[in-house]
Structure 1
Amino acid sequence: MTTATRKEMEHERMRRKILDAAKELFAKDGFDNVSIRKIAARIKYSPAALYRYFKNKEDLILSLKMEGMQKFGEMQSHLVNIKDPFQRLREGGRIYLDYARKEPEYYDLLFTKAVPSFCSPEKWVGGPHQNFTNFQETVRQCIETGVLGDVSVNTAVAALWASVHGLASLAASGRLQSHLPGIDMDNIFEDVLDFITIPQIEREKMRKGKQDESSK
């Protein structure tokens, strides 16, 4: 192993250590209550040395956000292979819940915390991520096939996202399991999705039935 390779590996090891410490502290204490000095103290490093790896706290938090989105995207990579949009929607909701349970710190950072005061809102929020664009397209296809009834894409997206986000947040905090012991966490989103959509499907059938009757 060359000296350059060893230095590169050591640099990446320290960068990883800083990110892990920051992620834990941000999740526990909030963005604005965690300083570079506090992160450095957690890993027994000098505050000045952290600036070799990150320009400032904004650079650090945006690096964490990028990591979190990458992990989320990797969990969803197989969705493109699911042809049926309703089944794709069900699987996407299950993944969202899994992400909240398996990566609670990233989930909290990406989906529940407000924009950090030290971070540019434009950089933090950014444009629509590909994951979200894919979700919108799946919802649009579900509407076209009649699964979600006669509703706008934006309304359906807002309702479905709010449902799965609420479930994920309750699950991540342990409140869902505490208040509803014995709940099937592996299938809860699919059950809720059926609860939301089946009445829509039935209403759509009734509407079409009335149209058929009037056309006779």
Structure 2
Amino acid sequence: MAISDRKLREKEDLKKRILEAAKALFLEKGFEATSMRNIAERVEFSPTTLYLYYKDKNDIVYALHQEGFKLLAQQFKTVAGIEHPYERMKTMARIYLQFAEENPDFYELMFVRQGPILHVQKHNSDDWEEGSRTYNVLYENVIECQKEGLFKNLLPHNVSLIIWSTLHGMCTLHMHMRLDCVKFEDDYEVVPEKSRPEYIYESFISLLERLK
């Protein structure tokens, strides 16, 4: 291996260590309570060395949120073999909800916290590439559904935003335990073995059926 290749790999390994340490500290202490010095101490760097890799905490958060989008995109690839776009959309919804349930730390960085967007704005860009790329997967799927005669007389962006905002709202309320404070017994027959995420998914599909 050439010296330049080895140095590049070492640099990427160090950046990965920094991200893993930052993620762990954000979970332990919270984002606001975690400092760049805390992260440097966790990876046994000097703060000065840490700043050679990441300019500030939002820079680290942005890099972490990119990792989250890579993971979500990888999971979305599993729907490629589903022929009908509506069935594909239903599966995408389940994947999205499951991703939020299993990766709450990533989900917070991707869709809730301001840090990544502040990073984008700081670099004089209005283009949130990761979010736009994921949104376009949904939007293009809506277009395909409309070609099949679904979501008639609705603008594709309207449909896409309704779907995304509804799923996001349900995920965020569940993750932050707000749904635990709401009594659903008056609205549906309680099935003890049904999990809250499953109820959320079924509620979303019920809305989607009426929308189409």
* TM-score, length of structure 1 as denominator length: 0.73
Q: 1:64 to 1:197 in 2, by over 3 A?
A: closer
> Which residue does 2:187 correspond to in 1?
none
> Which residue does 1:40 correspond to in 2?
40
Q: Distance in 1 between matches of 2:126 and 2:26?
A: 15
Q: 1:173 to 1:9 in 2, by over 3 A?
A: same
Q: Identify which of 140, 143, 155 aligns with 2:143.
A: 140
Quote how far apart the aligned CAs of 1:68 are.
1.4
Quote how far apart the aligned CAs of 1:15 are.
2.6
Paired residues of 1:58 and 1:118 also in contact (CA < 8 A): yes
Identity level (%) = 26
Paired residues of 1:90 and 1:189 also in contact (CA < 8 A): no
Q: 1:116 to 1:16 in 2, by over 3 A?
A: closer
Quote how far apart the aligned CAs of 1:41 are.
3.0
Q: Distance in 2 between matches of 1:123 and 1:20?
A: 27
1:17-28 matched pairs, under 5 angstroms: 17-26=17-26
> Which residue does 1:170 correspond to in 2?
173
Quick one: which amino acid aligns to residue 207 of structure 2?
I
Q: Distance in 1 between matches of 2:96 and 2:117?
A: 27
Q: Identify which of 155, 160, 163 aligns with 1:160.
A: 163
> Which residue does 1:84 correspond to in 2?
84
Paired residues of 2:59 and 2:116 also in contact (CA < 8 A): no
Number of aligned residues: 200
Quote how far apart the aligned CAs of 1:111 are.
0.3
> Which residue does 2:210 correspond to in 1?
199
* TM-score, length of structure 2 as denominator length: 0.75
Paired residues of 2:65 and 2:106 also in contact (CA < 8 A): yes
> Which residue does 2:108 correspond to in 1?
108
> Which residue does 1:184 correspond to in 2?
195
- 2:174 is the counterpart of 1:150: no
What secondary structure sits across from 2:83 in the alignment?
coil
Q: Distance in 2 between matches of 1:4 and 1:137?
A: 41
Q: Distance in 2 between matches of 1:116 and 1:193?
A: 28
Q: 1:65 to 1:124 in 2, by over 3 A?
A: farther
Q: 1:152 to 1:96 in 2, by over 3 A?
A: same
Paired residues of 1:100 and 1:107 also in contact (CA < 8 A): yes
Paired residues of 1:62 and 1:124 also in contact (CA < 8 A): no
Q: Which runs of 5+ in 2 are unaligned?
A: 185-191
Quote how far apart the aligned CAs of 1:17 are.
2.5
Tell me the C-alpha RMSD between the 2 structures. Answer: 3.3
Paired residues of 1:94 and 1:189 also in contact (CA < 8 A): no
Q: 1:117 to 1:146 in 2, by over 3 A?
A: closer
Q: Which runs of 5+ in 1 are unaligned?
A: 202-216
> Which residue does 1:50 correspond to in 2?
50
Quote how far apart the aligned CAs of 1:195 are.
1.7
What secondary structure sits across from 1:51 in the alignment?
helix
Q: 1:101 to 1:125 in 2, by over 3 A?
A: farther
